[in-house]
Amino acid sequence: MYRIGELAQLCEVRTDTLRFYEKHGLLSPSSRTDSGYRIYTEADAERLRFILRAKAVGFTLAEIAELLSIELDKSNWACADVKGLVDDKLANVEAKIAELNHFQLSLQRLSQACCGGPESAEHCSILEALESSTENIRCENHSHTHDDAQFTKTCQDKSAVKNTQEK
Amino acid sequence: MYRIGELAQLCEVRTDTLRFYEKHGLLSPSSRTDSGYRIYTEADAERLRFILRAKAVGFTLAEIAELLSIELDKSNWACADVKGLVDDKLANVEAKIAELNHFQLSLQRLSQACCGGPESAEHCSILEALESSTENIRCENHSHTHDDAQFTKTCQDKSAVKNTQEK
DNA sequence: CTTGACCTTGGATACAACTCCAAGGTTTAT
DNA sequence: ATAAACCTTGGAGTTGTATCCAAGGTCAAG
């Protein structure tokens, strides 16, 4: 039997988070004291751990609510249903990874093209790329032309410019 | 010279988005008609394209605002400043990728452990993993024990259960 | 001169997952 | 008996990126 603060400490969440989960139907205390304090049982704690584990593999709270409803009524669901949720999530995660990989590649190319020195940014390859090239930033049309000339070219005036930079 | 709807169509954004960018200091029309209509010049369109390209490589609008302020005053900034922004973003993106890769791995393991068949979910490996294992879901403590016995085990009752599944 | 397409503004709504706050009640320790 | 630490509720705020709406003004065509 835990009071809200105890359960929170045990599972390393905030009390606010527990109330938030309650409001959203994920976890309600099994009972209340006469004065209205929430009382959580060990089973409640287990349910919370289930939620946290599901969060740890990337499920949103809405998805976790679905998992919990299956969990409470397992015999009326098939493995296929559960696996479906996991596979949908997996596809979802993989799509996000693909997008981020695209960002990563573009950023790497931009970074490599820039000397990164104390020279004036007037001829900075990064800014130039953002000013004009779309194809070379988004690598969506895989043209395979290997024309990364634009990206290996660095800042033109490496010769001292001695600009005072105020940031 | 474009009216808001024309520029929006040209760059494939909503007019609302252009007003939103204006409200947030990213892009203001160069002038207005007597009746108050926004008038965008070709330079404004270029600035919008800069914004959209920066978005395409993963920058947030706040970061883009920073890039734009450099863009407008290039000579007072160094390549190092620009490259710094890109490299910070890159680190940021890579951290997100790492997190998602972790999700992906966990989800793959869960998926592989489950038969995915029409059997009752009463002994579903996925639910069991969420009920009890934390270490096997989060692969944070790289124990390298290769104990994926828990993950290769599939649903126990492949023998017909014939549960009617209502979803 | 009316219809429809366009434009204006300010403000509301949406999503996710909290986090914080104020005003007040309860429990525990001294 | 009183202070500290806990708890309650309802509601507002956060971050990011828009999207939608209502009430009204403008413009071109027929």
Q: What is the pLDDT of residues B4-38, one digit of tens each?
A: 999 999 999 999 999 999 999 999 999 999 999 99
Structure tokens at B136: 């096997």
- Cα-based angle A82, A83, A89 (whole degrees, multiple of 5): 100
For the ranges A12-21, A45-54, B49-58, B117-126, the lowest mean pLDDT is seen at B117-126
Q: Is the pLDDT of residue B128 over 70?
A: yes
Distance from CA of B4 to the nearest CA of A (A): 21
Residues B68 and B9 in one domain: yes
Q: Is the pLDDT of residue A164 over 70?
A: no
For the ranges A28-37, A72-81, A128-137, the lowest mean pLDDT is seen at A128-137
Residues B23 and B70 in one domain: yes
Residue A112 lies inside a defined structural domain of this protein:
yes
Q: Is the pLDDT of residue B148 over 80?
A: no
Domain boundary among B77, B96, B131: B77
Mutation test of the interface with chain B: which of A79, A88, A158, choosing the one with the most B Cβ atoms within 10 A? A79
For strand C, is any atom closer than 7 Å to the CB of A39? no
pLDDT band at B136, cuts 50/70/90? low
Taking residues B47-63, report their average pLDDT: 96
Residue A66 lies inside a defined structural domain of this protein:
no
For strand D, is any atom closer than 7 Å to the CB of B36? yes
For strand D, is any atom closer than 7 Å to the CB of A106? no
Q: Which domain holds residue A148?
A: 98-152
Strand D nucleotides, any atom under 7 Å to a protein CB: 6-9, 16-21, 25-27
State the Rg of chain B over Cα: 27
Residue A50 lies inside a defined structural domain of this protein:
yes
Q: Which pLDDT belongs to residue A135?
A: 57
Residue B35 lies inside a defined structural domain of this protein:
yes
Residues B66 and B130 in one domain: no
For strand D, is any atom closer than 7 Å to the CB of A99? no
Contact B126 A86 (CB under 8 A): yes
- Separation between Cα atoms, residue A106 and residue A77, nearest integer Å: 44
Residue A103 lies inside a defined structural domain of this protein:
yes
Residues B66 and B98 in one domain: no
Strand C nucleotides, any atom under 7 Å to a protein CB: 6-9, 16-21, 25-27
CB atoms closer than 10 angstroms to residue B32: 10
Instruction: Say if residues B121 and A77 touch (Cβ distance below 8 Å).
Output: yes
For strand C, is any atom closer than 7 Å to the CB of B15? yes
pLDDT band at A105, cuts 50/70/90? very high
Domain boundary among B77, B96, B122: B77
Domain count, chain A: 2
Residue A26 lies inside a defined structural domain of this protein:
yes
Residues B72 and B110 in one domain: no
* Span CA (B163) to C1' (C29), Å: 58
Q: Is the pLDDT of residue B45 over 90?
A: yes
The CATH number of residue B8's host domain is: 1.10.1660.10
Q: Which pLDDT belongs to residue B144?
A: 33
Taking residues A101-117, report their average pLDDT: 93
Query: What residue ranges in B33-88 does DSSP mark as E strands?
Result: 38-39
Residues B106 and B50 in one domain: no
pLDDT band at B84, cuts 50/70/90? very high
**Residues of B in Cβ contact (< 8 Å) with A138:** 53, 56-57
For strand C, is any atom closer than 7 Å to the CB of A36? yes
Q: Which pLDDT belongs to residue B163?
A: 40
User: Could you say which residues from 49 to 68 on chain A have a Cβ atom under 8 Å away from some Cβ of chain B?
Assistant: 49-50, 53-54, 56-58, 67
- Separation between Cα atoms, residue B134 and residue A49, nearest integer Å: 9
Residues 6+ apart with CB under 8 A from B37: B3, B4
Residue B36 lies inside a defined structural domain of this protein:
yes
DSSP A73: T
- Which amino acid, A26? L
Interface membership of A143 toward B (CB under 8 Å): no
Residues B18 and B73 in one domain: yes
Domain boundary among B77, B98, B127: B77
Q: Is the pLDDT of residue B142 over 90?
A: no
Nearest CB among B54, B70, B104 relative to A90 is that of B104
Q: Is the pLDDT of residue B127 over 80?
A: yes
- Separation between Cα atoms, residue A162 and residue A37, nearest integer Å: 67
Mutation test of the interface with chain A: which of B10, B11, B86, choosing the one with the most A Cβ atoms within 10 A? B86
Q: Which pLDDT belongs to residue B161?
A: 37
Residue A74 lies inside a defined structural domain of this protein:
no
